[in-house]
Structure 1
Amino acid sequence: MPPGRAMWVWMHEAAPPDPAAVAAFAVQQRVTEAFVSVPWGGPTPTTQQQVAALRGEGVRVSALGGDPSWTTGDDAVTWMRRATAALLFQGVHLDIEPWTRRDWPSRERALLEGLARTVRDVAARTSLPVEIDLAPWLAQAHPRQFRDVVARADAVTLMAYRDRASDILASSAWARRAIAGTRRPYRIGVETGAVAEPEPTAAQTFADDGRAVLERELAEVAARLAGDDRFAGIAVHDVESWLALRP
């Protein structure tokens, strides 16, 4: 069976997506796993409806959560316990991204070491598989810390946000080589929504390209990585912007 597709589903409190529409789109797009966000207080009735709709279509669902501050303290563990208490989910997907913090330039290694501890602590307190989002450039800038974070997770999603297969593969190459040594599976993540500076939006997202280009480039990525046993498929960020892509 070929590697599956995954997608992020952010349950915005003010305007959550329609559960039936998301589930139908998942089937249409051959999505086999969805990362559904869970608020700090735990699953809401809307969360439960979305999970039920997806699982009803045979889609595997992981609890999605994270905050750049989750490199110290027990917040990640507290959130995970609340998110998974009702047994809705089949995995935990962490999107913490400490490199977005204002103090990142002066604390890069310390924050990544804290991220590794957070992933370790979450994984130690759940029987569910734990996956972590990582920026591929970390593997080159901080190789030891990158490997430490990956080794403490069950899988990793590389946010290789580029809009051409050659660039996606080039930007993730160093990280993919590093992951090979950890014996962990990985997904390649791509973006379909607007991307802010410092890089031009057009180079990082399929938002201005449309679905036909997205499908063409993802097919090439999947074909090029087909021989890699660690490759677990493509993850698309996120369902809302993916739905809004022009044909």
Structure 2
Amino acid sequence: MARAMWIWMQAGTTLDTAALVAHVDAQRVGEAFVSVPWTGPDAETHRCVAALRGRGVRVAALGGDPAWTSGSDAVTWLQRATASFLFDAVHLDIEPWTRRDWAGRERELLAGLERTVKDVAGRTALPVEVDLSPWLADAYPDEFGRIVRRADRVALMAYRDRAADVLAISAAARAIVARVGKPCRIGVDVLPSEAPAETFADDGRAVLERELAAIEAALAGARAFAGTAIHDYDHWRALA
């Protein structure tokens, strides 16, 4: 099964397209979420998308900010990101649970995320995917379900470094997604972290491959399972 990955384009840096193509080929990447600046695609965005398309990779415009639970910033970004018809989809990474004012406003902010996904989906014909942390399904199942209904697809950021733990923490979220009838990816992390059980950064590529294979095998028969995704490209490529 082809895998997906997040690509965060760093301002002022030049993309090594040869390394990107080699990684895509070696790691069976079938889709990439490519970050798009607030002002819209720049020259490096175009180079990245062209390199990916040259290898048959489906490309989504990636964007988000925890503040996008209110106002029209998400729609403004969407219109700029998709104006040049570069992308096959839109991928939102908003994560209001990372806000400093999250505590005490949880349901309000999740309702804002639902509205944002609804607004973005209503302004584009492209499929819209949203990143969600699976623990939200345990703590706020109704709000979680309503956000899932607004999206075309979900990426569950099930950040653990063993397949059994990934499957365990995502179980409730996967059940809701399946009931709603939307596809979902299982995302894992390779960024260095103070919580080593949440990332493969300290485990290495062999362990990552072993655990991804176990996740894919365990979920192969699940109708809603749309594959795995790795966060992110730069750290995945550098993984020992």
TM-score by length of 1: 0.95
Task: Please say if 1:230 is aligned against 2:227.
Answer: no
Contact 1:17–1:240 (CA<8 Å) still a contact in 2? no
Structure 1, unpaired ranges of 5+: none
Cα offsets for 1:123-178 (capped at 9, x unmatched): 00000000000000000100000000010000000000000000000010110011
Q: Which amino acid aligns with 1:112?
A: L
Q: Which residue of structure 1 lines up, in the alignment, with residue 76 of structure 2?
A: 78
State the alpha-carbon separation in 1 of the partners of residues 142 and 47 from structure 2: 41
Residues in 1 aligned to 2:5 and 2:18: alpha-carbon distance in whole angstroms:
15
Q: Distance in 2 between matches of 1:78 and 1:243?
A: 32
Q: Which amino acid aligns with 2:164?
A: S
The answer (yes or no) to whether the contact 1:160–1:188 under 8 Å persists in 2 is yes
Number of the residue aligned with 1:173: 171
In structure 2, C-alpha distance between the alignment counterparts of 1:195 and 1:228, rounded to whole Å = 30
Which one is further off, 181-190 or 22-31? 22-31
> Displacement, 1:19?
2.3
Question: Structure 1: which amino acid aligns with 2:228?
Answer: I
- Aligned residue pairs: how many? 240
Unaligned runs of 5+ in 2: none
Partners of 1:97 and 1:74 in 2: CA distance: 16
- 1:29 aligns to what? 27
Q: Deviations over 1:169-194 (max 9, x none)?
A: 00101100111111000000000111
Is the contact made by 1:4 and 1:232 (CA closer than 8 Å) also made in structure 2?
Answer: no
Measured after TM superposition, the shift of residue 36 of structure 1 is 0.3
What is the CA-CA distance between 1:6 and the residue it aligns to? Answer: 0.1
Distance (whole Å) between structure 2 residues aligned to residue 222 and residue 16 of structure 1: 33
Determine the C-alpha separation between the residues in 1 that align with 2:211 and 2:15. Answer: 26
In structure 1, C-alpha distance between the alignment counterparts of 2:98 and 2:192, rounded to whole Å: 17
1:43 corresponds to: 41
Which residue number corresponds to residue 4 of structure 1? 2
CA distance in 1, matches of 2:143, 2:159: 21
Match of 2:212 in 1: 218
Give me the identity figure in percent: 62
Q: In the alignment, is residue 54 of structure 1 matched against residue 48 of structure 2? A: no
1:44-87 CA distance string (max 9 Å, x none): 00100000000011000000000000000110011011000000
Structure 1 distance, partners of 2:149, 2:2, is 22
Deviation at 1:16, TM superposition (A): 4.6
Q: TM-score, normalised by structure 2?
A: 0.98
Quick check: 2:134–2:158 contact (8 Å CA) kept in 1? yes
Whichever residue aligns with residue 243 of structure 1, its letter is R
**Secondary structure at 1:87's aligned position in 2?**
coil
- Report deviation, 1:18: 1.5
Aligned partner letter, 1:229: R
Secondary structure of the equivalent of 2:30? strand
Q: Which of 122, 125, 128 is the matching residue for 1:124?
A: 122
Asked if residue 163 in structure 1 is aligned to residue 161 in structure 2, the reply is yes
What SS does the corresponding residue of 2:33 show, helix, strand or coil? Answer: strand
Where 1:181 maps in the other structure, the secondary structure is helix
Contact 2:137 2:176 in 1 (8 A): yes
Backbone CA RMSD of aligned residues: 0.8
Q: After the TM superposition, which residues 95-244 of structure 1 pair with which residues of structure 2 at under 5 Å, given as runs?
A: 95-196=93-194, 200=195, 202-244=196-238
